[in-house]
């Protein structure tokens, strides 16, 4: 069992071990004590893992209720959130009880926000089952739902009580979802750890599972370090956005359909690197391609720039973007939006 302590305003452990989902009840009880546990999950994950989690929680003295919603980003909205609130109220969940987020980033984000707001805040735990959720969304305390005006626009910072990562659960992930997580793993290598980048570059989508525990551990440890320095996202945490400014714009250009977040991040990292550190482009592109991810986009830059203007990392008239001048090093560059447009179109 590997453990990472995340020292945020409310500290917690991330446990990383194959097979740990079967013992989740024991690990959660050690942190929260016995209480009522509302498992929140989606239909796909429910069919695969809800019984295992329920059995382990019951064996460790928890009283269980389960809320299941349809999988996919479209469920991460205010109407599902309202259904979760109704469910928690009907099941008499109190401030002594816990929510259990079982699933990918969609489940984690909406459950975390429900935990931040129900009864003005109750405890929650994360059992992330996608690579993206294990190495990114379950750690760091960002929770949110989408509204018609944009993704993740309504949310809160709310740290979990514990995160349990079982990389065996990743073996049931479809390839495109695994690739989505690998885009974020490549990002961690680019911004902070050239050794991690090399390990990723030496593998591909078919054999990366051989080193999955090490990969998950290393990525989470990088996220821990960044989040501990800037929990509330006012500075350094922005480096986690490498590839995301253009990536989100590409996702938006595709109306968030048939184009995953990971594809956007991969293409975004390549486009920014082509522009500002072209000597690294070959290495990055080769690595991205090994995971079946795109290295560019058919969308014209002139049509992507309006989407960049809506980026959450924008302040009045300015935009921050991240450049990696070498593998393992990230720089935040803040410029007037007009200058960014000029640089990107030039």
Q: Supply the Cα-derived Rg of the chain in whole angstroms.
A: 20
Q: What's the CA gap between 231 and 159, in Å, rounded?
A: 10
> What is the distance, to the nearest Å, from the Cα of residue 100 to the centroid of all Cα atoms in its chain?
17
85 three-class SS? helix
Residues 205-234 close enough to bind ligand GLY by CB under 6 A: 233
221 binds, among ligand NAD, ligand GLY, none (CB under 5 to 8 A by kind): none
44 binds, among ligand NAD, ligand GLY, none (CB under 5 to 8 A by kind): ligand NAD
Lookup result for tokens 């969308």 = 299
Q: Does residue 132 bind ligand NAD (CB under 6 A)?
A: yes
Binding mask 238-277 for ligand GLY (x = CB under 6 A): --x-------------------------------------
Residue 344 tokens, joined: 């990107």
Q: Does residue 136 bind ligand GLY (CB under 6 A)?
A: yes
CB 320 within 8 A of CB 332: yes
180 binds, among ligand GLY, ligand NAD, none (CB under 5 to 8 A by kind): ligand NAD
Nearer to ligand GLY by Cβ, of 240 and 330: the residue is 240
Q: Does residue 76 bind ligand GLY (CB under 6 A)?
A: no
Of residues 312, 306, 264, 309, the one with CA closest to residue 288: 264
Q: Does residue 107 bind ligand NAD (CB under 6 A)?
A: yes
Q: Which of 16, 37, 68, 180 binds ligand NAD (CB under 6 A)?
A: 180
Pairing mode, strands 142-147 and 150-157? antiparallel
Pairing mode, strands 162-165 and 2-6? unpaired
Q: Which residues bind ligand GLY (CB under 6 A)?
A: 136, 140, 142, 233, 237, 240
């Amino acid at each position: 069992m590997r453990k990472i302590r995340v020292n945020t305003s409310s500290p917690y452990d991330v446990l990383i071990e194959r097979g740990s989902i079967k013992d989740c009840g024991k690990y959660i009880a050690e942190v929260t004590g016995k209480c009522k546990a509302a498992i929140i999950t989606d239909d796909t994950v429910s069919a695969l893992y809800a019984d295992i989690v329920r059995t382990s929680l019951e064996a460790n003295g928890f009283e269980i209720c389960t809320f299941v919603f349809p999988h996919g980003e479209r469920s991460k909205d205010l109407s599902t959130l309202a259904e979760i609130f109704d469910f928690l109220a009907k099941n008499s969940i109190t401030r002594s009880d816990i929510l259990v987020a079982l699933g990918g980033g969609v489940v984690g984000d909406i459950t975390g926000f429900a935990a931040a707001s129900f009864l003005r805040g109750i405890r929650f735990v994360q059992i992330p089952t996608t690579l993206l959720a294990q190495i990114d969304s379950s750690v760091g305390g960002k929770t949110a739902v989408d509204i018609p005006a944009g993704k993740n626009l309504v949310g809160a910072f709310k740290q979990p009580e514990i995160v349990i990562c079982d990389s065996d659960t990743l073996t049931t992930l479809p390839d495109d979802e695994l690739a989505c997580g690998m885009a974020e793993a490549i990002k961690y290598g680019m911004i902070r750890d050239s050794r991690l980048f090399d390990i990723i570059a030496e593998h591909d989508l078919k054999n990366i599972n051989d080193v999955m525990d090490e990969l998950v551990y290393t990525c989470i440890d990088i996220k821990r370090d960044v989040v501990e320095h800037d929990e509330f996202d006012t500075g350094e945490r922005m480096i986690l956005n490498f590839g995301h400014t253009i990536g989100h714009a590409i996702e938006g250009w595709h109306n968030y359909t048939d184009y995953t977040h990971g594809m956007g991040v991969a293409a975004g990292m390549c486009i920014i690197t082509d522009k500002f550190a072209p000597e690294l482009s070959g290495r990055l592109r080769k690595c991205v391609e090994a995971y079946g991810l795109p290295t560019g986009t058919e969308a014209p830059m002139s049509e992507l720039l309006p989407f960049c203007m809506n980026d959450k990392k924008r302040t009045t008239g300015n935009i921050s973007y991240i450049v990696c001048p070498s593998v393992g090093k990230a720089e935040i560059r803040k410029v007037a939006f007009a200058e960014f447009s000029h640089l990107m179109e030039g």
